[in-house]
Structure 1
Amino acid sequence: MRAADKVIELASLDSEPQSKKDRKYPEEEGKRYFAQLGEGWDAINLKSPGHYRIKIRVSGLPAFTGRVPRLSLWHHQHKKSVMGMDISNKEDEPKTIVLEGLFSAGGYKILNNAQTKKHPNGGVIRFRTGTIDAGQKLASLTGGFRSDKTKIVDEQGRPVMPTLLIDWVEVEGPLTTEVNRAKKSGIFPMKEDDQEELTASLKRFAERAWRRTVSDQEMQRYIKFIAAEKEAGVDFRSAYKSALSGILVSRSFFNLEEGSPNENRSRLNNFELASRLSYFLWSSMPDEQLFTAARTDKLHVPETLKKELKRMISDPKIDRFLDSFPRQWLQLHRVGMFQPDPNLYPEYGPWLEKSMIMETTNYFAEMFRNNLPIREAVESDWTMLNSRLALHYGLPEPKETKLMRVSLEPESGRGGLLTHASILSLTSDGTRHRPVHRGAWLSETILAQAPPPPPPNVEPLEPVKSNEPKKTIRSQLEAHATQSNCVSCHAKIDPLGLAFENFDAIGRWRDKEKVEGGTGENPPVDASGTFPTGQKFDGPQEFKRVLAEDEKRLANAFVQQLATYALRRVMTVDDRPHIEKIVENAKGGNYRLRSMIEHLITSELFLNR
């Protein structure tokens, strides 16, 4: 109830905050703040949450290795970065970055979170910060500081570390946009004593909150409540706000209601369909255009649905789907669940982990926006890279500082989701790769065939003893899989995971498996195998090529995942005919992503309860 009261208070026109603009300089105007890694400038303090416009005048000095500084905005109370951006413009060519959106209250620090081969995780505290004159070159700072601080330049005059430079920071807000004003208008009745206008205002609010038509009868309890509050001495505006709060804590607001005893329970009505479509693609309530289509009883018409789909895809809110769906489908919440051992993987850190996830979500978004066929989820000659991932993969650094699409050479070993570091790490345990986990994940997620659970009391693989020759996990698995109660499942699962033996627990390419303990040299990896169909492959590239040829199977699994996300439930045996029909209809379009979504939303599976 307190949350509802707060929402109503923020939505009230009389609670609009006073906006102001403030520019902050380091020490004084004409000075420039600089930071290598770790320490930062506490330049921003927001007293209240809201919509703000933040401008930062910034430039940078790259290290002689080519690594540029990375601007990060760190929220103290939440203990996390709310944005990150590589800065490639030169010292004498500063640019103004504009950040606009919703920000939480509290203090923010501007810091340089660049990662290098020597210090891949950033955040090392013995780096230099300070101020210089705006026209002064950083390379001129050659001495006069403690020996435990990193130098700006080395003996050859080359920058040692990527260094961030800030001229000023400007904060404007909280802002009230015309869009927000339009949303707030009409919430309160113009006349307090007009019963018809009171009912109309409550209905207008409730229809938006409950996402359906509302009867006068349903509003009577709220009208009676307002009258009772006024009789008790409460002013009208406060009583009305309390009634609105009551609407927001009702079951109709919290639940996506589908069906009632008085309706045909087999098919969604127009308002229920509008909500299903909107929460599927926008993760939010329907907009006015969807509501209008629902009111005119046209939303069930296939052509109307296709038109609305096209419009919704072009709306910025589609980004919510492009980020949320691949996270659920590919189980990206598991990335970092088992933190890699820092002794084994010292280069692993927050920025690398975030970049891994961003590669995968942005890869899906690129497929979606270009309506690519589902086979490119498995096999492609491109990916989405930033400088940190390029360093991790051993690939050339992208020309731009942001995450961008890059072409891949065949020998890169990459291309497609299956060789993303995010996928390869979430199927590992923090110390070593897990081929069985990788195979089980691929079977369940990409092929929609959940493997049976392992038998009870299965003994884990033992570490290699110090007096034994080093051996790969693959060779240990092959010995384990000969047991009678294990062989049938491992024959189906293991080849799917062993195809990626060239990748370690954090997704780096390798030709030899690093084995802790044992005698002799680290053994070479073997990524060959045989599909359950008998078809052989040698390495991840051949495996992906063979898998991508079975487009219908990939499409069927993808539609199941898509329908699970859209309908918010697991698919059952009864849903199979609907899934197969959607896949068959998408065949003519080469199983392209947006085409499959179109066939899903016009299917009986989506239109029915």
Structure 2
Amino acid sequence: MSRPSHHDQALPLRGARSAILAALLLASGCIGNLGDSSGAEPGDKPGAEPGVEDPTPGAPLACKDGVVYPGRAPLRRLTRVEYNNTVRDLLGDTTDPAFSLPSEDVGNGFGNDADTLSVSSLLAEQLGTVAEGVAQRATATPEALAKLAPCARNVAAADEAACARTIIESLAPVAYRRPLAGGEAEELLALYSVGRTDATFATGVATMIEALLQSPDFLYRIEWGTPDPERPQLRRPTGDEMATRLSYLLWGTMPDEELRMAAQAGELSTKEGVRKHAERMLDDDRSRPTIRFFFDNLLPISSLADLERNAEAFPTFSRTIGSLMREETQRFLEHEIFEGTGSWASILTAPYTFMNERLAAFYGVSGVKGDEFQKVELDTTQRLGLLTQAGVMAGTTHSNNTNPVVRGSFVLQKLMCIPIPLPTGDILEKVKPPDPYSGATARDRFSQHSKDKACAGCHQFMDPVGFAFENYDAVGLYRTTENDVVIDPSGTVPGTLGDVSGPIELVQKLAASEEVQHCFAKRWSEFAYGLTLRKEDQCTEQAVTTAFEASGYNVKQLLIDLTQTDAFHYLASGQE
């Protein structure tokens, strides 16, 4: 299939809304199917190589050295965060306009799962409203216009069309993340002219920008690729497409000037060239929001600022403390990844954290002064690493009483990649939190789970993990008793990890577990590639895991290795 025509844009903007909406829906459906780059022909089964059958359906794929495994690359729409970052860098708009749109479906856990990022007719209309607001702000004053092009500040009537073209030729290639195709500049200029009729120069420019921001070429990361001379059944992303892959993975926004120039110079045509730029980008502070975003979604910390607890039971807790908890976790992670040992194991077992004076007072830690966060050594008999931070413990508690089910489920599903099926039928009818007065401790209150055969099937795995965190109350403060009864924090982890005496031994065993390390690599792969990994992605997953092991499970190196897989460097022949 050839690249679609853009001639439907050469319409009055209000009248073109239906055409734009249709283009968005078409992109979401038709092009999305083309982007599923398994490379299989009709009737082929998912396998290691395009056109090669999987001889043992249901069994792990046999990944062979020297064979390219492009994986899947479905069409990806910009998420709300990516949209906000892109219009910020494109037009200087810092209002986060896309947060007025509905939240993405969780999908792979990060809100960027291509399989769930479809566009309904309602969302297309909402995107039009957002684009209109961005365009108006970008052209609201002479100073704003001048940021688009110096000629736009006080443009004479005779020079308006030329100035509009200047804006188009500088803005549109950056917005589309590729050079303009033949005729595209003229189509955008025609839209400017429609908006300019019976109005002002600024209105004409706003009309053009509004259409630009509703184009599938802006809203979607469209990849057409170029044939690989050595493997004609496969295609590689073009230089501009590779720059886009890199930039949205590591910075969550469009490529910067240096990356665009590298694409045009052919520097992104090899894995070595991509690695060089990935290393540069990770050394840039613009990579840190991506780290924060990933962990905000992996961990239960994103809503800590909205957490509410009973003031009588927890007098030292407030929403401000909740916000500081989240900041603690984010600062700790950034420091350990970029300045510390940087391994997932060291993150899980680090003997320090970051606090300011107010948060330290909440923890009961003395000697910390001022509003600035500073490194604080932990009492490692009580806390060790990421999981014992108050924010993680409070975030896995949904009421004034701790819930070992929620905490255990978090560890199993998020950190060990062990799926827990949701209860259905008769079991669902039995699911309800225990009476808070049914026992002095959480272990007492949740004991019914082990007695009821219908519940024990799942809870025999979740509850014993959660019991190991019972030394932390509903706001994450350390305790040894509950209702004047001594807490038993012993627990059990499924598989080979076995019994633990409490939270410290639990996090130490998790940190030493290959299963936990491999799950972490899988979570990053799903985030990086915008997918929920399936069988046909097994060779990609295996390549990432192998590289992660070789690096000593280093997180920063993992991000670089994610740019070195076949899935990152190849498309399949179905997308052409």
Give TM class, smaller chain.
Answer: 0.5 to 0.7
Corresponding position of 2:61: none
**Tell me, what secondary structure is at the counterpart of 1:536?**
strand
- Match for residue 346 of structure 2 among 376, 390, 407: 376
By how many angstroms is 1:262 displaced? 11
CA distance in 2, matches of 1:452, 1:337: 28
Give the greater-gyration-radius structure (CA). Answer: 1
Q: CA deviation at 1:331?
A: 3.3
Q: In 2, Cα distance between the equivalents of 1:2 and 1:337?
A: 29
Cα deviation for residue 418 of structure 1 reads: 0.8
Tell me the distance in 1 between the aligned counterparts of 2:516 and 2:157: 60
Amino acid at match of 1:543: L
Contact kept in structure 2, 1:382 and 1:408, CA below 8 Å? yes
Q: Pick from 409, 415, 418: which aligns with 1:449?
A: 418
Whether the aligned pair in 1 keeps the contact of 2:317 and 2:362 (CA below 8 Å) is no
1:245 aligns with 2:210: yes
C-alpha separation in 2, matches of 1:402 and 1:229: 50
Kindly tell me: are residues 473 and 197 of structure 1, through their superposed partners in 2, closer, same or farther at Cα, counting changes over 3 Å?
closer
How far residue 297 of structure 1 moved from its aligned partner, in angstroms, is 2.9
Mapped partners of 1:261, 1:602: distance in 2: 18
Q: Which residue of 2 aligns with 1:458?
A: 430
> Secondary structure of 2:538's match?
helix
Between the aligned partners of 1:508 and 1:354, the Cα distance in structure 2 is: 15
Q: Which has the higher contact order (CA 8 A, sep 6+)?
A: 2
Conservation of the 8 A alpha-carbon contact between 1:382 and 1:415: yes
Give the superposition deviation at 1:190. 9.9
| 1:539 paired residue number | 502
Shift of 1:375: 0.3
Matched residue SS, 2:520: helix
After superposition, the Cα gap between the structure-2 partners of 1:235 and 1:547, relative to the gap in structure 1 and judged at 3 Å, is closer
Aligned to 1:204, the other structure's residue is in SS state: helix
Distance 1:227 1:253 in 2: 21
* Separation in 2, partners of 1:461, 1:7: 46
| CA distance 1:473–1:237, change in 2 (3 Å) | closer
Q: Which ranges of structure 1 fall in alignment gaps of 5 or more residues?
A: 18-179, 515-521
Q: Which moved more, 1:355-364 or 1:482-491?
A: 482-491
Distance apart, 1:574 and its partner CA? 2.4
Distance 1:453 1:5, change over 3 A: closer
1:106-159: CA deviation from partner (whole Å, max 9, x where unpaired): xxxxxxxxxxxxxxxxxxxxxxxxxxxxxxxxxxxxxxxxxxxxxxxxxxxxxx
Post-superposition shift, 1:289? 1.0
Match of 2:220 in 1: 255
Corresponding residue for residue 113 of structure 1: none
Please state if 1:572 is matched with 2:534.
yes
* Within-5 A mapping of 1:508-523: 508-514=477-483, 522-523=484-485
How big is the shift at 1:290?
1.0
Against the structure 1 CA distance between its residues 229 and 588, is the aligned structure 2 distance closer, same or farther, given a 3 Å change threshold? Answer: closer
Distance 1:239 1:365, change over 3 A: same
Alpha-carbon deviations, 1:403-454, whole Å to 9, x = none? 122222322x112111011111111122100001100011111112221223
What are the Cα deviations for residues 210-242 of structure 1, in whole angstroms up to 9, with x where unaligned? Answer: 111211312232233445566x55565643443
CA drift of 1:207 comes to 0.5
What residue ranges of structure 2 are gaps of 5+ in the alignment?
1-127, 572-576
Q: Tell me how far apart the structure 1 counterparts of residues 460 and 346 of structure 2 sit (CA, whole Å).
A: 26
Q: Is residue 383–residue 415 contact of structure 1 (8 Å, CA) maintained in 2?
A: no
Change over 3 Å in CA distance of 1:510–1:292 after alignment to 2: same
What does residue range 179-190 of structure 1 map to in structure 2 within 5 Å? 184-185=149-150
Instruction: Report the secondary structure of 1:530's partner residue.
Output: strand
Provide the residue aligned with 1:394 in structure 2: 364
Contact conserved, 1:270 with 1:297, CA < 8 A, in 2? yes
1:432 aligns with 2:401: yes
Contact 2:305 2:323 survives alignment (8 Å) = no
Question: Which residue of 2 is the match for residue 481 of structure 1?
Answer: 450
SS where residue 221 of structure 2 aligns?
coil
Contact 1:10–1:16, Cα closer than 8 Å, also in 2: no
Structure 1 residue 601 displacement after superposition: 1.3
Is 1:211 equivalent to 2:177 in the alignment?
yes
Q: Residue 548 of structure 1 is aligned with which of 504, 507, 511? A: 511
Once the two structures are overlaid, the 10-residue window that deviates more, 336-345 or 389-398, is 336-345
Q: Distance in 2 between matches of 1:276 and 1:387?
A: 41
Deviation at 1:261, TM superposition (A): 12
Equivalent residue, structure 1, for 2:308: 339
Distance 1:571 1:185 in 2: 47
SS in 1 for 2:349: coil
Query: Which residue matches 2:72?
Result: none
Report the counterpart of residue 548 of structure 2 in structure 1: 586
Amino acid at match of 1:556: H
Contact 2:441 2:487 in 1 (8 A): yes
* Corresponding residue of 2:142: 15
What is the deviation of 1:527? 0.7
What one-letter code is carried by the residue in structure 1 that aligns with 2:142?
S
Q: Which secondary structure does the structure 2 equivalent of 1:486 belong to?
A: helix
Distance 1:2 1:534 in 2: 53
User: Which shifted more, 386-395 or 263-272?
Assistant: 263-272
Cα–Cα, structure 1 residues 404 and 187, in superposed 2: closer, same or farther, change >3 Å? farther
Q: How far 1:344 moved relative to its partner?
A: 1.7
SS of equivalent residue, structure 1 residue 423? helix
Matched, 1:275 2:240: no
Shift in alpha-carbon separation, 1:359–1:236, aligned structure 2, 3 A: closer
Between structures 1 and 2, the one with greater helix share? 2
Kept after mapping to 2: 8 A contact 1:13/1:184: no
Alpha-carbon distance change, 252 to 479 in structure 1, aligned in 2, over 3 angstroms: same
Q: Is contact 2:302–2:326 with CA below 8 Å preserved after alignment?
A: no
Instruction: For 1:377 and 1:457, locate their aligned partners in 2 and report how far apart those are by CA, in whole Å.
Output: 39
1:133 aligns with: none
Identical-residue share of aligned pairs (%):
23
2:355 is the alignment partner of 1:385: yes
Higher strand share: 1
Amino acid at match of 1:380: A
Work out the CA distance in 2 between the residues paired with 1:181 and 1:310. 34
> Quick one: which amino acid aligns to residue 482 of structure 2?
E
Q: Does residue 321 of structure 1 match 2:294? A: no
In structure 2, what is the Cα distance between the partners aligned to 1:281 and 1:183? 26
Report the CA distance shift for 1:374/1:191 in structure 2 as closer, same or farther (over 3 A).
farther
In structure 2, distance between residues paired with 1:15 and 1:195: 17
Q: Aligned letter for 2:474?
A: A
Residues 551-593 of structure 1: CA deviation (Å, up to 9, x unaligned)? x323321222222222333222322321222121222321111
| 8 Å contact kept, 1:258–1:268 | yes
The root-mean-square deviation of aligned C-alpha atoms, in Å, is 3.2
Whole-Å separation in 2 of the counterparts to 1:396 and 1:289: 47
Alignment of 1:490-529 (within 5 A): 490-514=459-483, 522-529=484-491
Find the residue that maps to 2:522 and give its secondary structure: helix
Letter in 2 for 1:492: F
